[in-house]
């Protein structure tokens, strides 16, 4: 029993530190949003002056290992052709034909991918192939449309408020267990609230992501060659955040709360029987 008491006591201390830390951090964010205007060197989000973070997935539009942008000096025709080890021989032949054509004004770009270790040594030889598919991250948007600004602000701040709410009930749950390490209705209720709060946040955040995606569909980053030819380099797509792990955690807490309630009822019946 003493080991259980020490465990619940430590968990209560950790939950208390996390709760007050989240409270201070949220207060700092709100203070900066109201009174401080961030700069490019000091970025604080969310902020109505600077912008709001939005999850995106990045797709790298890499046409090949080598890209030749060309423009004819006679008929002013222009185009772009790429080659790489995954391209067929016909592409290689056409690429080198245009590369050796003296009547074309050409700009050649050669891409390379290098993997480094902690000592900044190249370790490409340790891998048979390297492919860039996509990546996930965040961009900061500061829209002029007040409807979108409100949605982005709500999406950013709801996470702070739900975090504080969940940590408060988590702290209260461990405090109750620390005082009474047994089945009780109060602990069951707190677990039920925590689980439903996490599940509600996930559903609301998912709905907000879908609504926000109606305002824009992609962010395209272009690159321009010296001969005026434009090619698409990166494309950022808005992500619809949905965490299966959070949903399973929330459902698990709800189930455990029902077990706590069942255990409490059985304990009450046993006490009355005795």
The per-residue pLDDT of the chain, averaged, comes to: 79
Provide the pLDDT confidence category of residue 50 given band limits of 50, 70 and 90: confident
Neighbour-count burial of 188, counting CB atoms closer than 10 A to its CB (0-12 exposed, 13-18 middle, 19+ buried): buried
- What predicted TM-score, i.e. pTM, was given to this entire model? 0.70
Out of 24-28, 38-42, 178-182, pick the least confident: 38-42
pLDDT at 43 over 90: no
- Cα–Cα distance measured from residue 42 to residue 168, given in angstroms and rounded to the nearest whole number: 31
Question: What are the structural domain ranges in the chain?
Answer: 2-61+139-273, 63-131
Within 8 A by CB and 6+ apart from 206, the residues are 240, 241, 242
Rounded to whole angstroms, the Cα distance separating 254 from 246 reads 12
Read off the pLDDT of each residue in 146-156 and give the average, rounded to a whole number: 89
Give the C-alpha separation, 64 to 109, whole Å. 10
Nearest Cα to Cα of residue 243 among 199, 178, 184, 212: 199
Structure tokens at 37: 């205007």
Q: How many CB atoms lie within 10 A of CB 78?
A: 15
pLDDT digits (tens, 9 = 90+) for 97-108: 877 887 777 777
> Is the model more confident about 226 or about 55?
55
Give the tens place of pLDDT for each residue, 157-195.
999 999 999 999 999 988 888 887 777 778 888 899 999
Give 2's pLDDT tier (boundaries 50, 70, 90): very low
Pairwise CA distance, residues 2 & 40, whole Å: 53
Instruction: Identify the bridge partners of residue 235 per DSSP, sorted by sequence position.
Output: 59, 220
pLDDT tops 60 at residue 76? no
* 10-14, 41-45, 179-183, 203-207: the lowest-pLDDT one: 41-45
């Amino acid at each position: 029993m003493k080991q259980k008491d020490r465990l619940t006591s430590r968990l209560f201390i950790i939950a208390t530190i996390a709760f007050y830390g989240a409270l201070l951090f949220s207060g700092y964010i709100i203070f900066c949003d109201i009174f401080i205007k961030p700069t490019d060197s000091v970025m604080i989000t969310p902020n109505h002056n600077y912008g709001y973070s939005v999850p995106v997935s990045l797709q790298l539009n890499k046409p090949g290992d080598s890209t030749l942008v060309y423009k004819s000096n006679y008929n002013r025709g222009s185009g772009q052709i790429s080659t790489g080890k995954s391209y067929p021989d016909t592409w290689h032949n056409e690429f080198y034909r245009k590369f050796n054509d003296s009547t074309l004004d050409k700009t050649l770009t050669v891409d390379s991918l290098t993997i480094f270790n902690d000592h900044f040594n190249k370790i490409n030889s340790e891998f048979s192939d390297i492919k860039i598919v996509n990546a996930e991250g965040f961009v900061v948007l500061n829209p002029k449309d007040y409807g979108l600004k409100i949605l982005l602000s709500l999406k950013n701040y709801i996470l702070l408020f739900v975090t504080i709410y969940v940590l408060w009930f988590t702290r209260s749950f461990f405090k109750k267990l620390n005082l009474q390490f047994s089945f009780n209705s109060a602990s069951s209720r707190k677990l039920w609230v925590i689980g439903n709060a996490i599940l509600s946040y996930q559903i609301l955040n998912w709905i907000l992501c879908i609504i926000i995606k109606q305002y824009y569909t992609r962010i395209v980053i272009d690159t321009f060659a010296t001969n005026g030819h434009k090619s698409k380099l990166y494309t950022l797509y808005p992500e619809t955040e949905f965490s299966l792990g959070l949903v399973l955690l929330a459902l698990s807490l709800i189930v455990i709360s029902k077990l706590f309630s069942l255990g409490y009822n059985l304990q009450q019946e046993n006490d009355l029987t005795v």
